[in-house]
Amino acid sequence: MRSVKALRRLCENEVRSLDLDLPFDAVQLCEKYGKRRGRDILVISQPLPVGMPNGLWLVGDDADYFFYQANTSRTHRDQIIIHEFGHLIAGHQNAGPSVHAEQMPAEEADAALHRTCYDDANEWEAEMIASIILGWASEAGALAGRTAKHDSLRGIQRALGGHSRWL
Ligand SMILES: [Zn+2]
């Protein structure tokens, strides 16, 4: 398991220079990250039934697919997506299965999802990455102010020396 410091460095390296807008949008992060690395991340809203996970990462042949629970708040949506993003940038697909599902009680898992990874260390890393990125997003958002027009925020972001990791 990596240290918090190592995970912060990982986030900085992976998320740097993506030119993200504020307020933070997890879908935009995935789109820009996918474009830069040359392999798309497709974020798909899905009304998942009760007992199913809130988030799911499928590793496709030429793209990654993040499914998230459609019936949820914007904040929770971002948390789910960034958690999956955390698994992705931490390289967890190399260590485990190609399907990663969240919060699936073992007794309800069907055959397809038996491959789900419940490695505690990986879960902890993904949660930590999510909280690091969402923490930066909320700090940067608070500094930039929430009343400014969306389009004008990039310039303000660039002026935020302490948050240059977003640029
Ligand atoms: Zn997870």
Instruction: Residue 43: give the domain boundaries.
Output: 4-158
Domain total for the chain? 1
Rounded distance from Cα 102 to ligand 1 centre (Å): 5
Position 17 in a domain:
yes
CB 26 within 8 A of CB 44: no
**Does 163 map to a domain?**
no
**43 CA distance to ligand 1 centroid (A)?**
16
Whether residue 166 lies inside any domain: the answer is no
- 9 within some domain: yes
Q: Is the pTM of this model over 0.85?
A: no
- Using the structure block, give the residue that is written with the tokens 């899905």: 46
For the chain, residues with pLDDT lower than 70 are 94-119, 145-167
Q: What whole-number distance in Å separates Cα of residue 59 and Cα of residue 92?
A: 11
Asked whether residue 98 is domain-assigned, the answer is yes
Between the CA of 152 and the centroid of ligand 1 the distance, in Å, is: 34
114 alpha carbon – ligand 1 mean position (Å):
14
- pLDDT tens digits, one per residue of 86-106: 999 999 875 544 556 665 444
